[in-house]
Structure 1
Amino acid sequence: MAMRRFVLGFLAILVFVGCRSSAGLLGPMVQVGRTDGKTGMVIVWRTDEVGDSRLDYGPFPHYTDSVYDSSLVTYHAVTLKDLRPGTRYSYRISTNGKVLAEKFFYTNKSNLEPFTFAVFGDSGSGDDHQDKVARQVEEQAPDFILHTGDLIYYSGKDRKYSEQFYHPYRDLISRIPFFPSMGNHDYKSNEGQTMLDNFVLPGNGRNYSFDYGNAHFIALDSNRANKESAVWLEADLAATQQKWKIVFFHHPPPFTGTHSGDENITDLWMPLFVKYKVDIVFCGHKHLYSRSRPVNGVVYIIEGVGGKRRYNFTPAPHWAYGDDDHWGFGWTAINGNELVFSHFTDEGKILDSFTIRK
């Protein structure tokens, strides 16, 4: 009993950088939800016990406004409105009168400003490899993150989210939006509903899109590459007028070789990528890094070295570059008519890079 009291006491005083922590707290996490990310944002956190939700916020370093929800919940999601684009905000979350964390976030930049994002996947190891990738992403300070699937191994269970998601990315998700796509391991838990329940995503969350700067981003559930998803995808691509179009999902198309997705990706999705001039498609599933030569104008990049064990890369004519010796992540900088992509290792070394100009 004495040891139990010691452990509980230690957890109660454990403090992560920049926040006052509480035992049982997961998050906070910045999400865009159904806002535009420039004038609105959603702050999410989870608690072991039911309670109310209070969020104090204001232009950094001040607290000028508050939002309160008296609903007794364990999943807390507070929407902020009337924010200023490209602005740093302080925020403080409380439940049942207790301050749980104090952080800050950035609203999305305006359409004309340059921006950056990181992309990685197959990350849920919960070990040092995942942590090293996360710390290196932090050093690069992206504006947001895309994830190519398989957040949680091996079967997407909710009890694994603390170890494999909330803790490794605590200093990232509290400041910038994190956009996941559905991996096959995530899908194993209630057909992916567990993953969807942990986030506040645009649209229906399974297939969704959002804009940032002069780019349009689309997340697809490659576990359900079917006619319904293709109809949604075409309508979404046809509606955007953004200069850059970027798609991300988990299973790579079959042309990439073994351990790939089904033929519906080839038959139903890939023609739409060509028709609507998608620039880059990011995938995961293969635990390696590889970049294709343009396929009918579209570059396919596999970012699957976010932390889980690596697979072997097999050279082929369609690959411009491949690596299976390092964990790492992709990094994209967009500035007007120029897009620069680089693949970083978890040590901060750039292995591959290319530029697209329009």
Structure 2
Amino acid sequence: MARHPHPKHGFGQLRPSQNPPHPQQSPLFEGSAFQPLPAPTGASPFRLDLDAIVPDAVAAARKAGGMAFHMVGDTGGVKDPNPQLLVAAGLEHDAGVAGKFGAPAFFYHLGDVVYFDGQAQEYVPQFYDPYAHYPLPIMGIPGNHDGDVFDDGTRTNPLPSLATFVRNFCAATPGTHSPDAGEASRTAMIQPNVYWTLNTPFATIIGLYTNVPEGGVVEDDQVAWFVGELKAAPKDRALIVALHHPIYSLDTYHSGSKPMGTLLANSFASAGRSADMVFTAHVHNYQRFTIADADGNGVTPYFVAGQGGYHNLHKVAKVNGQPLITPYAVPGQAGVTLNSYYDDRFGFLRLEVSPEEIAVSTYTVPRPQEPWDQVPTLFDTVRFDWKRRRIVTGA
């Protein structure tokens, strides 16, 4: 039977009932229209095996009985590079930390790699240079800024949406050196499409592309593909869904997206299979929610992880002028609980996945005015029994 992890009504903009915030619309999003998707560079159904990227790490993960990887979004340091550099330094440090299942194997990006319009000339300062010493492959999904069409007013034919993202993340052959990489040694990733599935020994990660308009737009062909991938996902592995626009958010700037919530709920129902965890970005802070399953037998963790380095952090709403105290049952949203958040620092996530659990450790990095040699600080940790759909521990 299909699970319906969303409440039946109102899973869009989550706001406290007292002193509700009034989200501002950034001028960056005014007039941002849906953009046609580029042609895939790989064959349908757009799957990539992790073995093809890091075979040694996959072999080590199988031997260890689990795997680790990094995740965060909204990293581009367009106006102030320091937050992004601090997060990159934290990721570099953690890449050498051997946890329960060894060191992380890769970094999965949740979108908005390059601000403000995915320009080719910004890939060196906002992507290749910051991660020059990060030793792991970087893959992921595009965000709205990666899909915006750049036109400086002098070009009669701007590049089509996502053209530069495709050149750097969706190369047709391994070992391709992107013309946007400058002197960087990192080669382009070989994702088969801008929406795609990563197959690993312990988790299936389905990445959606939610396009440019605020709140996200996903057309029917991608929805049909998504339902098919949900059905095809092996049931003996955890199922993770990633998309840029968040379904749930208590920030005062963007808030959550009702269309994306409807998309997931309907797709999960059609497939008879729902995600074990959902990861989003777009909002520039960290938030962790649990959403009660409709049958009352479990929960689904939903994350906002947009604290990856873009300088402008988004504040979480207050009630009567006071910060929210977690766990916070969201008013008017049955079964929706904000479990943890931070909105005053930057950081990243480390996931550890096994046949029984998904553990998510959330780190902060120093503020730019603090000593840069500090190691990342563990802020939040949660272990989720994905077979029983229960939080084992969470602090």
TM over 0.5: yes
Contact 1:156-1:188 at 8 Å conserved across structures:
yes
1:115 aligned residue (64, 67, 90): 67
Query: Which structure 2 residue ranges, 5 or more long, are not aligned?
Result: 1-45, 96-103, 150-159, 171-188, 212-216, 294-298, 318-323, 331-336, 367-375, 388-395
Q: How far is 1:132 from its partner?
A: 1.0
| Secondary structure, aligned partner of 2:302 | strand
Q: How far is 1:188 from its partner?
A: 0.5
Residue of structure 2 in register with 1:245 after alignment: 239
- Residues 58-77 of structure 1 aligned to structure 2 (within 5 Å): none
Report the aligned-residue RMSD: 2.5
> Residue by residue, what CA displacement relative to the aligned partner does 1:69-113 show, whole Å, maximum 9, x if unpaired?
xxxxxxxxxxxxxx9x326xxxxxxxxxxxxxxxxxx87843873
1:160 aligned residue (119, 122, 146): 122
1:352 aligned residue (367, 372, 380): 380
1:268 aligned residue (263, 268, 274): 263
Structure with greater contact order relative to length (CA < 8 Å, sep ≥ 6): 2
Residue identity matched to 1:286: V
Query: Which structure 1 residue ranges, 5 or more long, are not aligned?
Result: 1-32, 42-82, 88-105
Contact 2:249-2:304 at 8 Å conserved across structures:
no
| Secondary structure, aligned partner of 1:293 | strand
> Residue by residue, what CA displacement relative to the aligned partner does 1:284-341 show, whole Å, maximum 9, x if unpaired?
1110100012243321100011111211012462311111011001111113312211
Residue identity matched to 2:195: N
**Pair 1:228–1:108, CA change in 2 (3 A):** farther
More strand by share: 1
Q: Percent identity?
A: 27
| Secondary structure, aligned partner of 2:244 | coil
1:197 maps to 2:162: no
Residue of structure 2 in register with 1:341 after alignment: 360
Residue of structure 1 in register with 2:227 after alignment: 234
| Secondary structure, aligned partner of 2:259 | helix
**Pair 1:245–1:186, CA change in 2 (3 A):** same
TM-score w.r.t. the length of structure 1 is 0.67
1:302 aligned residue (301, 304, 313): 304
2:218 aligned residue (225, 230, 243): 225
**Pair 1:273–1:144, CA change in 2 (3 A):** farther
- Residues 1-358 of structure 1 aligned to structure 2 (within 5 Å): 36-38=49-51, 40-41=52-53, 85-86=55-56, 109-110=61-62, 113-125=65-77, 127-141=81-95, 142-172=104-134, 175-189=135-149, 190-200=160-170, 204-223=192-211, 224-241=217-234, 242-253=236-247, 259-260=254-255, 262-273=257-268, 275-296=272-293, 297-308=299-310, 309-314=312-317, 315=324, 317=330, 318-347=337-366, 348-357=376-385, 358=387
Provide the aligned length of Structure 1 versus Structure 2. Answer: 263
TM-score w.r.t. the length of structure 2 is 0.61
Distance in 2 (alpha carbons) for counterparts of 1:186 and 1:116: 26
Contact 1:202-1:209 at 8 Å conserved across structures:
no
Residue identity matched to 2:281: G
**Pair 1:320–1:161, CA change in 2 (3 A):** same
Distance in 1 (alpha carbons) for counterparts of 2:107 and 2:90: 13
